[in-house]
Protein backbone atom coordinates (compact mmCIF):
# COMPACT_ATOMS: atom_id res chain seq x y z
CA UNK A 1 0.00 0.00 0.00
CA UNK A 2 1.41 3.36 -1.04
CA UNK A 3 1.39 6.23 1.42
CA UNK A 4 -0.53 9.45 0.92
CA UNK A 5 -0.26 12.71 2.82
CA UNK A 6 -3.50 12.15 4.74
CA UNK A 7 -2.67 8.64 5.93
CA UNK A 8 0.88 9.66 6.88
CA UNK A 9 -0.45 12.50 9.02
CA UNK A 10 -2.82 10.13 10.82
CA UNK A 11 -0.04 7.63 11.43
CA UNK A 12 2.26 10.33 12.80
CA UNK A 13 -0.48 11.51 15.17
CA UNK A 14 -1.09 7.94 16.36
CA UNK A 15 2.62 7.40 16.96
CA UNK A 16 2.84 10.54 19.08
CA UNK A 17 -0.37 9.82 20.98
CA UNK A 18 -0.43 6.04 21.44
CA UNK A 19 3.24 5.23 20.87
CA UNK A 20 2.85 2.77 17.99
CA UNK A 21 1.39 2.41 14.49
CA UNK A 22 0.31 -0.90 12.96
CA UNK A 23 0.78 -0.49 9.19
CA UNK A 24 -1.43 -3.53 8.45
CA UNK A 25 1.20 -4.80 6.02
CA UNK A 26 0.02 -8.07 4.46
CA UNK A 27 3.27 -8.79 2.59
CA UNK A 28 6.13 -8.55 5.07
CA UNK A 29 5.31 -11.85 6.80
CA UNK A 30 6.18 -13.85 3.69
CA UNK A 31 9.60 -12.21 3.39
CA UNK A 32 10.28 -12.73 7.10
CA UNK A 33 9.37 -16.41 6.65
CA UNK A 34 11.85 -16.70 3.75
CA UNK A 35 14.48 -15.03 5.93
CA UNK A 36 13.78 -17.64 8.61
CA UNK A 37 14.06 -20.49 6.08
CA UNK A 38 17.54 -19.21 5.22
CA UNK A 39 18.41 -19.42 8.96
CA UNK A 40 18.31 -15.66 9.55
CA UNK A 41 21.32 -14.59 7.44
CA UNK A 42 21.88 -11.23 9.16
CA UNK A 43 25.46 -10.94 7.86
CA UNK A 44 24.59 -11.19 4.18
CA UNK A 45 23.14 -9.07 1.41
CA UNK A 46 19.78 -10.77 2.00
CA UNK A 47 19.50 -8.95 5.33
CA UNK A 48 20.28 -5.62 3.66
CA UNK A 49 17.69 -6.36 0.97
CA UNK A 50 15.10 -6.96 3.70
CA UNK A 51 15.94 -3.60 5.30
CA UNK A 52 15.82 -1.81 2.00
CA UNK A 53 12.52 -3.27 0.82
CA UNK A 54 10.48 -2.98 4.00
CA UNK A 55 12.02 0.09 5.63
CA UNK A 56 14.40 2.35 3.71
CA UNK A 57 12.56 2.14 0.38
CA UNK A 58 9.11 1.80 1.96
CA UNK A 59 6.98 4.89 1.32
CA UNK A 60 5.01 4.37 4.54
CA UNK A 61 7.95 3.77 6.86
CA UNK A 62 10.80 6.01 5.76
CA UNK A 63 8.87 9.33 5.90
CA UNK A 64 7.84 8.57 9.50
CA UNK A 65 11.40 7.68 10.48
CA UNK A 66 12.73 10.96 9.07
CA UNK A 67 9.91 12.99 10.63
CA UNK A 68 10.28 11.36 14.07
CA UNK A 69 13.76 12.80 14.50
CA UNK A 70 12.68 16.32 13.61
CA UNK A 71 14.81 16.63 10.51
CA UNK A 72 18.00 15.66 12.35
CA UNK A 73 20.07 12.79 11.03
CA UNK A 74 19.35 9.41 12.61
CA UNK A 75 21.24 6.14 12.36
CA UNK A 76 20.06 2.57 11.87
CA UNK A 77 22.00 0.96 14.70
CA UNK A 78 20.03 -2.08 15.87
CA UNK A 79 18.97 -5.12 13.82
CA UNK A 80 18.11 -8.28 15.76
CA UNK A 81 15.46 -10.97 16.12
CA UNK A 82 13.44 -10.86 19.35
CA UNK A 83 11.54 -14.01 20.25
CA UNK A 84 8.63 -14.39 22.67
CA UNK A 85 8.81 -13.58 26.37
CA UNK A 86 5.26 -14.18 27.62
CA UNK A 87 4.47 -12.17 30.72
CA UNK A 88 7.39 -9.76 30.24
CA UNK A 89 6.55 -6.19 29.25
CA UNK A 90 9.61 -4.53 27.74
CA UNK A 91 10.72 -1.14 26.49
CA UNK A 92 14.00 -0.09 24.89
CA UNK A 93 14.24 3.45 26.26
CA UNK A 94 12.87 5.50 29.17
CA UNK A 95 12.03 9.17 29.72
CA UNK A 96 8.93 11.26 29.06
CA UNK A 97 10.39 14.59 27.89
CA UNK A 98 10.69 15.68 24.27
CA UNK A 99 14.47 15.29 24.54
CA UNK A 100 13.95 11.63 25.46
CA UNK A 101 12.48 10.84 22.04
CA UNK A 102 15.76 9.39 20.85
CA UNK A 103 14.94 6.01 19.32
CA UNK A 104 12.33 4.48 17.03
CA UNK A 105 11.86 0.76 16.46
CA UNK A 106 10.35 -1.06 13.49
CA UNK A 107 8.93 -4.53 14.07
CA UNK A 108 8.90 -6.85 11.04
CA UNK A 109 6.73 -9.60 12.47
CA UNK A 110 6.62 -13.28 11.61
CA UNK A 111 3.39 -15.03 10.72
CA UNK A 112 1.50 -16.08 13.83
CA UNK A 113 3.13 -13.51 16.09
CA UNK A 114 1.15 -12.00 18.96
CA UNK A 115 2.15 -8.74 20.60
CA UNK A 116 0.52 -6.63 23.32
CA UNK A 117 1.16 -2.90 22.97
CA UNK A 118 0.56 -0.68 26.01
CA UNK A 119 -0.72 2.58 24.52
CA UNK A 120 0.38 5.84 26.18
CA UNK A 121 3.07 4.09 28.26
CA UNK A 122 5.74 6.09 26.40
CA UNK A 123 4.30 9.24 27.99
CA UNK A 124 4.44 7.99 31.59
CA UNK A 125 7.36 7.53 33.98
CA UNK A 126 7.47 4.00 35.40
CA UNK A 127 9.95 2.14 37.59
CA UNK A 128 11.92 -0.38 35.54
CA UNK A 129 14.30 -3.27 36.03
CA UNK A 130 16.95 -4.57 33.66
CA UNK A 131 15.46 -7.05 31.23
CA UNK A 132 16.78 -10.41 30.05
CA UNK A 133 17.89 -8.84 26.79
CA UNK A 134 18.76 -5.28 25.70
CA UNK A 135 15.60 -3.89 27.29
CA UNK A 136 13.94 -2.60 30.45
CA UNK A 137 11.02 -4.46 32.02
CA UNK A 138 7.84 -2.80 33.31
CA UNK A 139 5.37 -3.96 35.96
CA UNK A 140 1.88 -4.79 34.60
CA UNK A 141 0.16 -3.37 37.69
CA UNK A 142 1.83 0.01 37.24
CA UNK A 143 0.75 0.20 33.61
CA UNK A 144 -2.82 -0.73 34.50
CA UNK A 145 -3.02 1.83 37.29
CA UNK A 146 -1.79 4.54 34.92
CA UNK A 147 -4.56 3.75 32.45
CA UNK A 148 -2.32 2.43 29.67
CA UNK A 149 -4.64 0.58 27.30
CA UNK A 150 -3.56 -2.87 26.14
CA UNK A 151 -3.86 -3.45 22.40
CA UNK A 152 -3.67 -7.19 21.76
CA UNK A 153 -2.49 -7.76 18.19
CA UNK A 154 -2.55 -11.10 16.39
CA UNK A 155 -0.38 -11.02 13.27
CA UNK A 156 -1.60 -14.18 11.55
CA UNK A 157 0.06 -13.20 8.25
CA UNK A 158 2.87 -11.20 9.82
CA UNK A 159 3.05 -7.43 9.86
CA UNK A 160 4.97 -4.20 10.27
CA UNK A 161 4.65 -1.94 13.31
CA UNK A 162 6.41 1.35 14.06
CA UNK A 163 7.06 1.76 17.79
CA UNK A 164 8.36 4.56 19.99
CA UNK A 165 11.28 2.89 21.79
CA UNK A 166 9.86 3.98 25.17
CA UNK A 167 6.58 2.09 24.69
CA UNK A 168 5.85 -1.01 26.76
CA UNK A 169 5.10 -4.13 24.73
CA UNK A 170 5.02 -7.87 25.21
CA UNK A 171 5.84 -10.42 22.51
CA UNK A 172 3.77 -13.40 23.61
CA UNK A 173 4.21 -15.57 20.49
CA UNK A 174 6.27 -15.60 17.33
CA UNK A 175 9.09 -13.12 16.87
CA UNK A 176 9.97 -9.69 15.54
CA UNK A 177 12.88 -8.75 13.33
CA UNK A 178 13.55 -5.52 15.20
CA UNK A 179 15.20 -2.54 13.52
CA UNK A 180 16.23 0.45 15.62
CA UNK A 181 16.87 4.03 14.51
CA UNK A 182 18.56 6.35 17.00
CA UNK A 183 20.02 9.80 17.36
CA UNK A 184 23.68 10.22 16.44
CA UNK A 185 24.40 11.11 20.07
CA UNK A 186 22.99 7.80 21.29
CA UNK A 187 24.73 5.77 18.59
CA UNK A 188 28.10 7.29 19.50
CA UNK A 189 27.99 5.19 22.69
CA UNK A 190 27.27 1.93 20.85
CA UNK A 191 29.38 -0.63 19.07
CA UNK A 192 28.67 -0.87 15.34
CA UNK A 193 27.00 -3.89 13.84
CA UNK A 194 29.52 -6.09 12.03
CA UNK A 195 29.37 -7.34 8.45
CA UNK A 196 31.97 -9.36 6.51
CA UNK A 197 34.68 -7.31 4.84
CA UNK A 198 33.19 -7.71 1.38
CA UNK A 199 33.29 -5.14 -1.43
CA UNK A 200 29.73 -5.86 -2.49
CA UNK A 201 28.36 -5.37 1.01
CA UNK A 202 30.32 -2.13 1.42
CA UNK A 203 28.89 -0.78 -1.81
CA UNK A 204 25.38 -1.85 -0.81
CA UNK A 205 25.58 -0.15 2.60
CA UNK A 206 27.02 3.01 1.08
CA UNK A 207 24.13 3.22 -1.37
CA UNK A 208 21.55 2.75 1.39
CA UNK A 209 22.75 5.75 3.42
CA UNK A 210 21.59 9.32 2.93
CA UNK A 211 21.89 12.76 4.47
CA UNK A 212 19.03 11.97 6.86
CA UNK A 213 19.67 8.29 7.62
CA UNK A 214 22.98 6.58 8.33
CA UNK A 215 23.79 2.91 8.94
CA UNK A 216 26.06 1.90 11.81
CA UNK A 217 27.92 -1.01 10.19
CA UNK A 218 31.59 -1.93 10.43
CA UNK A 219 33.33 -4.42 8.14
CA UNK A 220 35.67 -7.10 9.46
Q: Which residues contact 19 (CB under 8 A, 6 or more apart)?
A: 117, 118, 119, 120, 121, 122, 123, 163, 164, 166, 167
Sequential pLDDT tens for the chain (220 residues)? 566 778 899 999 999 999 999 999 999 999 999 999 999 999 999 999 999 999 999 999 999 999 999 989 999 999 999 999 999 999 999 998 878 889 999 999 999 999 999 999 999 999 999 998 989 999 999 999 999 999 999 999 999 999 999 999 999 999 999 999 999 999 999 999 999 999 999 999 999 999 999 999 999 9
Phi-psi sector, 49: left (phi>0), alpha (psi -120 to 50), beta? alpha
Range of the domain at 23: 5-219
**What is the number of domains present in the chain?**
1
What pLDDT is attached to residue 2? 62
- Give the CATH number for residue 81: 2.60.120.620
The predicted model scores a pTM of 0.95
What pLDDT is attached to residue 3? 65
Amino acid sequence: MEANAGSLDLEKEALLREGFVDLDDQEVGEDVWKFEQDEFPFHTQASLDLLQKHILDNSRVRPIVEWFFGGNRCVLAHYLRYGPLPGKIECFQTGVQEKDRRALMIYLLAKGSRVNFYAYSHLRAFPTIGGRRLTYELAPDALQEAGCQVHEKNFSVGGSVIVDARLGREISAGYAITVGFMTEELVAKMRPMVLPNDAGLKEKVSGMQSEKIGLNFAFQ
